[in-house]
C-alpha cells in the first residue's frame, strides 16, 4: 500500500450505494460507483455543486478563467468539484478555497494516494476547509491511466452543471463533458481565442451546442437558472486592475502593448511586429512593463498579460 499523506485522525468514510449519505445526484448516472471512499466531510457531496475543469497544459488565460469562475461559484455558495489535476483543476480548487468556499477533489487513484506529486498541500487544505477528497477506488490504489477517464464521470455526476474553462483538441476534459451531457446535466464552456490551440476543444464544444459563459454576468445568469439561487450583481471583472503610475509618460504605447497581448501570449519578435513600435522603444517598454508586473514571461518564452 502506497503511503498516504493524511493522518488517520482525519475522518475517513466509505459510502455504499443505498447508504443515507450517498449523493443522490450520483445515483442517476449510467454507472454509479458501488462505493465512494473519501477523506473529510461527506455532507459536502450532496450540496449544490459546480464542476470546474480544464486542460492540464493550461495557458495563463485558462488558469485565470478557472480562478475567476471558481471563486465566483464559491462566493455564490456553490461547492466546486474538480479532479485535482495540474493546471485548471488545481487553479479552480485553490481559487474556491481562497474565496472561502468548500471543494471536492475526485481522484483517479485511491483517496489516500496523493497524485499528482506536489498536490498534497492542496488536498490537505481541501479537507481542512470543510471539503472532501473522494475516489471509487480502494484505499491505496495506484493512479492508473484508465481510472482517470472513469473518475471524470463522477466529477460530472456530482454536479448539476460542469464548466469547462479551457480545452485543447483532443482533451481529457471531453470525457467529463460527455458524462455531463449523457446524464442531462448542463455543460458550460468558456470560449477562447480561435487561434489558440489550447482553446480548440472548448470552442468546438460551443459549436456543438454547449452553453457559453462569456463574462461574470452571463455566469451569474446561468447559475441563477440552474441552481435557483439569487446572485447579487457583481462588478464586471477587470483583469488588469488600475494601471500603475506612468512615470515615463508612455501610457498610450503601454496600452498598445497590452492590447497586442490580449488575444494570446506572444514571443518578443511577434509582439514587436504587432505593435509596430520601433525596436529601441519596444525593448525598454516591455522590460518596464515586466518590471511593473504588468507582463510576465512564460516558460515557453512567450509574454502574457499578468492577470490577478
Q: According to the binding rule CB under 8 A, does residue 238 interact with other proteins?
A: no
| Of residues 164, 154, 161, 57, the one with CA closest to residue 107 | 154
Q: According to the binding rule CB under 8 A, does residue 170 interact with other proteins?
A: no
Cell of 164: 469547462
Cell of 101: 468556499
Q: According to the binding rule CB under 8 A, does residue 272 interact with other proteins?
A: yes
DSSP state of 43: G
d(CA 231, CA 97): 19
For residues 185 and 302, which CB has a smaller minimum distance to other proteins in the complex? 302
Q: According to the binding rule CB under 8 A, does residue 297 interact with other proteins?
A: yes
Q: According to the binding rule CB under 8 A, does residue 232 interact with other proteins?
A: no
d(CA 108, CA 173): 14
Region of 74-82, 130-138, 149-157, 292-300 interacting with other proteins (CB under 8 A): 292-300
Q: According to the binding rule CB under 8 A, does residue 308 interact with other proteins?
A: no
Q: According to the binding rule CB under 8 A, does residue 267 interact with other proteins?
A: yes
Q: How far is the CB of 190 from other proteins (least distance, A)?
A: 21
- Helix or strand run (H / E) with residue 154: helix 145-157
Q: Which of 47, 99, 263, 284 binds other proteins (CB under 8 A)?
A: 284
Q: With contacts defined by CB under 8 A, how many residues of the chain interact with other proteins?
A: 23
Confirm if 140 and 1 have CB atoms less than 8 A apart: yes
For residues 267 and 308, which CB has a smaller minimum distance to other proteins in the complex? 267
Q: How far is the CB of 147 from other proteins (least distance, A)?
A: 19
Residues 179-198 that bind other proteins (CB under 8 A): 197
Residue 80, burial from CB neighbour count under 10 angstroms (0-12, 13-18, 19+): buried
Residue 8, burial from CB neighbour count under 10 angstroms (0-12, 13-18, 19+): exposed
Q: How far is the CB of 46 from other proteins (least distance, A)?
A: 35
d(CA 3, CA 193): 42
* Residues in touch with other proteins (CB under 8 A): 86, 197, 267-270, 272-273, 279-280, 283-284, 286-288, 290-291, 297-302
Amino acid at each position: 500500500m502506497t503511503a498516504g499523506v493524511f493522518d488517520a485522525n482525519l475522518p475517513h468514510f466509505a459510502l455504499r450505494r443505498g447508504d443515507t449519505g450517498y449523493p443522490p445526484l450520483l445515483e442517476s448516472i449510467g454507472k454509479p460507483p458501488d462505493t465512494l471512499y473519501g477523506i473529510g466531510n461527506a455532507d459536502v457531496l450532496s450540496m449544490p455543486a459546480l464542476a470546474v475543469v480544464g486542460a492540464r497544459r493550461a495557458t495563463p488565460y485558462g488558469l485565470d478563467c478557472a480562478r475567476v469562475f471558481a471563486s465566483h461559484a464559491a462566493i455564490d455558495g456553490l461547492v466546486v468539484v474538480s479532479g485535482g489535476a495540474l493546471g485548471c483543476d488545481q487553479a479552480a480548487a485553490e481559487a474556491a478555497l481562497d474565496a472561502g468556499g468548500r471543494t471536492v477533489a475526485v481522484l483517479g487513484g485511491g483517496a489516500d494516494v496523493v497524485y499528482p506529486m506536489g498536490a498534497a498541500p492542496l488536498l490537505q487544505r481541501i479537507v481542512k476547509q470543510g471539503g472532501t477528497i473522494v475516489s471509487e477506488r480502494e484505499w491505496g490504489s495506484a493512479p492508473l491511466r484508465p481510472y482517470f477517464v472513469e473518475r471524470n464521470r463522477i466529477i460530472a455526476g456530482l454536479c448539476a452543471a460542469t464548466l469547462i474553462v479551457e480545452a485543447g483538441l483532443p482533451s481529457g476534459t471531453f470525457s467529463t463533458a460527455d458524462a455531463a451531457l449523457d446524464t442531462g446535466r448542463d455543460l458550460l464552456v468558456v470560449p477562447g481565442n480561435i487561434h489558440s490551440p489550447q482553446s480548440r476543444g472548448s470552442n468546438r464544444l460551443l459549436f456543438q451546442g454547449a452553453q457559453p459563459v462569456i463574462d461574470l454576468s452571463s455566469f451569474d445568469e446561468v447559475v441563477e437558472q440552474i441552481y435557483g439561487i439569487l446572485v447579487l450583481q457583481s462588478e464586471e471583472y477587470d483583469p488588469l486592475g488600475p494601471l500603475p503610475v506612468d512615470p515615463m509618460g508612455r501610457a498610450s504605447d503601454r496600452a498598445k502593448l497590452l492590447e497586442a497581448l490580449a488575444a494570446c501570449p506572444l514571443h518578443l519578435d511577434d509582439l514587436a511586429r504587432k505593435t509596430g513600435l520601433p525596436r529601441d522603444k519596444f525593448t525598454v517598454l516591455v522590460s518596464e512593463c515586466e518590471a511593473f508586473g504588468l507582463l510576465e514571461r512564460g516558460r515557453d518564452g512567450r509574454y502574457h498579460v499578468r492577470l490577478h
